[in-house]
Amino acid sequence: MGKVWIAFERDSGVVPWLIRKFTGFKYNHVLFLYESADWKAVWTSESVSKQGVRSVPLLPHRTVHEKFLLKFDVWPDLQLCQGLITSPYDFPSLLMQAIKITLVSLFRVRLAWGGVVLKGLNCSEWIGRVLQGRFPVEYEFPQWVTPKDVYGLMLRRTDDFEKEEGSPIP
């Protein structure tokens, strides 16, 4: 299997700005990038508004600002989560996450709403669900994971992730 990265993007618009504002993080979108041996290209696996979780070729106009190479074999975890492909993405899940982030930041409260299941996946929840088997403590509740949480994990776990510079296209 080819290389797999976790990458971060910063999009323009009101919703991406609100995500950055609520999370206090410079990026609003996180995704998997992987080399496709069949198609000789880099593909994404991500949750996208109105399209759900999907895998598509990385389009040339997209700007990946930072990326981290996974030093472990994530393919078994991705295969376990294949049932989530085409799962819906919805804005109520972002609203619930915004409320949670606001409560935590204002009141310094750790909320453990493990039983709450939202009807859609957002981008960081997709990453959290795939990596939950390898990092069960960090992603005990993947529905509350933010891009900032994913980034922090990768900075702390240098044995599992390696930051790379430059274009994600080999």
Residue-wise pLDDT tens for the chain (170 aa)? Answer: 588 999 999 988 887 888 888 888 999 999 999 887 777 788 888 887 767 788 888 888 888 899 999 999 998 888 778 777 666 555 566 666 667 666 655 654 444 444 444 445 788 888 998 999 999 988 888 877 889 999 999 999 999 999 987 655 54
pLDDT at 136: 92
Counts of helices then strands in the chain (DSSP H, E): 5, 6
Tell me how far apart the alpha carbons of residues 84 and 104 are, in angstroms, rounded to a whole number: 28
Say which residue the tokens 């376990």 belong to.
80
pLDDT at 7: 94
What long-range pairs does 33-37 form, CB within 8 A, spacing at least 24? 33/4, 33/5, 33/6, 33/7, 33/58, 33/64, 33/67, 33/168, 34/2, 34/3, 34/4, 34/5, 35/2, 35/3, 35/4, 35/170, 36/2, 37/1, 37/2
* Global pTM value: 0.77
Instruction: Say whether domain 4-164 belongs to CATH 3.90.1150.10.
Output: no
